[in-house]
Amino acid sequence: MSGINLIDPVAGGVLAASVIPPLILLYFLKLRRRQRVISCTLLWKKSIEDLRANAPFQKLRKSLLLFLQLLALALLALAIMQPQLKSGRRTGGRVIIMIDNSASMSATDLEGGRSRLDDAKDKARRLVEAMQSGGLFGGTADECMVIAFNEKAEVLCNFTTARQPLLRAIDAVRPTDRRTAIDDALKLARAHTTITDPDNEQLVMEGKPGTIELFSDGAIADFQRQVRRGETLNFYPIGAPDADNVAFSSVAAERPYDSPAAIQVFAGLVNFNQTGVECTVQMSVNGDSNVGWIRVVRMEAATIDASTGQLVPGRSNVVFGPFEQPAAAVIEVANLRQDDLAVDNTAWLVTPPAKALRTAVVAPQLSLTHDAFAGMKLLQTSDTLSGEQFDALAAGGSGGSGGGGGAERYDVIIIDQHEPRSLPPGRYINLGSRLPIEALAMGEPVEGFEIADWTREHPIMQHVNLDNLLIRSLRPLVSADRVRVLVEAGSGTLSAPAIVEYTAGGVQIIHLTFRPVETNWFWHPSWVMFMVNTIEYLGLSGSATTERTLSPGDPIITRLPAGATEVRLRTPDGASHGLSPDDLNEVSWGRTDRAGFYDITWKAGGADGSRRFAVNLLDEPESHITPRTELKWGDEKVTGEGAAGGLQTPLWPFAIGVCLLVLLLEWWVYHRRGYR
């Protein structure tokens, strides 16, 4: 991996051509001397050696002086050419090799259709081989580590001076469809360059800041704020400057309220090319497509904002439907135009079947809870039951309402101002009543609570703001060990769960430890949103599909029916993994690195069940795949290096030094001959 480069070979060549031939010619010339008669030639032997050839030239003889003079001139000419030896990159410290494996690094815009990640790995291998090669000018090998990063980072090889573990770690870098961020990678690198004094557990000494060798296309949103004093960055930009990409930036499907058996699909496209393009967009439902589901979209070119210098992509929207689809649907929207990044050319959706939920409100009299939702299209039937009717229903009777059957005929039962004697299997929303469940036992009322925190990512909390919720009276749970706390309330130094989730024995409950009518929330729009979310969450939790769309890296968390066994998850690449439900019958999977469908299957009650999740990129910064050739590192700008090669060690000082030694030797030889 080493070699010699000449910065200015012409100047050295001109000098050599100008000086060396005349020097050689001088050794051909014969001195012309006048003849004199002497008595003896014994003392004149050395002086007449040059008279043995015919004038004006003599035969060139072996001469140490000529060799030394030619060598000195050659070294001088070489020094003027400014030779540089490509040797290992020596930093005198630790080297962190960071390889970007985010979605944009899967772009195939390089020669021969090679991906950017493959090119980055090749350059990283060459760098490792150069750094670990040793040699005359290489010095000792640096300690290196390998980190693969996207929005998360993974150490593939810790610090070592051995070449093979580093090369194996580079080979182990796999592509992902995640976003790009460098924060986690730098935290990992800095953690590994920190040295702890083994003799003093309290003392932590910061080691010499490492040298970061960054292989990326440069689309790193959080890069500028990550610099630390003393750190060194060498940046290797990956990708072709004329990369071509048109991407989906959004996709959604909804069932109109006035036609719940129909579906309408919306998709947004962005064009990052500075020329207009024409795309053919096709939708398929459950693997089938038709002519009516094809759209030809003409997209405007991307432009450069004159004030910021940033690229502004061209945009277009596509709408399909409404079309009749009462059953569950797996929807795929594809851009058939080929470009350099395939992952954002397709978007997937999973929509649940058309279902108007049937609910029951249990209250001693007509409740405000029922009035608030009586007009919702979401509710096909909303029955109001008295406490006695519900208790009869729970005991196995009809409860006095039409339709026959017991509590199982309702998708969701809302309990308001009633303390039931028993709860049959089902899904419940309890609005502050005492329930015959030990895990939900409540103490005496405590007054004056405000909301301290809530689990914003939970489905029932989507678009729900609890910042200004005031609770006049709350009954704290005796124990919160067997429930999942979703909302935490506080009163001075006292904190208590306000909303919890409980699942056991076929019973699933969203339980409030306060009565909504004793708060200011009951009259706020977020209360309506909370109830809508909760009814959908409980009522649709048994559906075979889910409409939630995930991004790469988002965890899959879902609750399975009680007693589910043989739980398996199938990833987009076809791999199958076993999952184990927890105490709340939930399973989770965090390695959603690739876009596509993730399928969970199980067996419960003698029947097979399944649930599908769609993972889409839908990220404009990641789809903007034009490589950056310059990064802002603190107050400095770092220009990318064309290739990973190693340090260029200048050799001209060595040539000058050897030339001087040769001249000294030539002087010594000349004078030694003269004094013989």
Task: Return the closest-CA partner of residue 390 out of 354, 426, 348.
Answer: 426
Class of domain 94-242+626-645: alpha beta
Q: Would the pLDDT of 378 be above 50?
A: no
| Rg (alpha carbons) of the chain, rounded to whole number | 40
Query: Distance (Å, rounded) from C-alpha 373 to C-alpha 530?
Result: 12
pTM summary value: 0.63
- Arch. (CATH architecture) of 545-613: Sandwich (2.60)
Class of domain 246-343: mainly beta
> Chain-centre distance of CA 231, in angstroms?
23
Query: Distance (Å, rounded) from C-alpha 207 to C-alpha 224?
Result: 23
Asked if residues 511 and 499 have their Cβ atoms less than 8 Å apart, the reply is yes
pLDDT tens, position by position, 528-560? 889 888 887 887 665 544 456 799 999 998 888
Res 535: pLDDT: 86
pLDDT over 70 for what percent of the chain?
Answer: 77
Considering only residues 319 and 539, tell me which one the structure prediction assigns the higher pLDDT. Answer: 319
Asked if residues 169 and 177 have their Cβ atoms less than 8 Å apart, the reply is no
Which pLDDT band holds residue 481 (cuts at 50, 70, 90)? confident
Q: Would the pLDDT of 317 be above 70?
A: yes
SS (H, E, C) 298-363: EECCCEECCCCCCEECEEEEEEEEEEECCCCEEEEEEECCCCCCCHHHEEEEEECCCCCEEEEEEC
Res 26: pLDDT: 65
Res 208: pLDDT: 59
CATH superfamily of 357-530: Class I glutamine amidotransferase (GATase) domain (3.40.50.880)
The three-class DSSP label of residue 216 is strand
Helix axes 652-674, 64-80, angle to 10 degrees: 160
Considering only residues 164 and 541, tell me which one the structure prediction assigns the higher pLDDT. Answer: 164
Query: Distance (Å, rounded) from C-alpha 656 to C-alpha 675?
Result: 29
pLDDT tens, position by position, 255-266? 775 677 889 999
Q: Where are the domains of the chain?
A: 3-87+652-674, 94-242+626-645, 246-343, 357-530, 545-613
Res 12: pLDDT: 65
Same topology between domain 246-343 and domain 545-613: yes
The three-class DSSP label of residue 145 is strand
Asked if residue 165 has a cis previous peptide bond (ω within 30° of 0), the answer is no
pLDDT tens, position by position, 166-214? 999 999 999 999 999 988 888 888 887 765 444 544 444 445 567 889 9
pLDDT tens, position by position, 57-70? 555 567 777 777 78
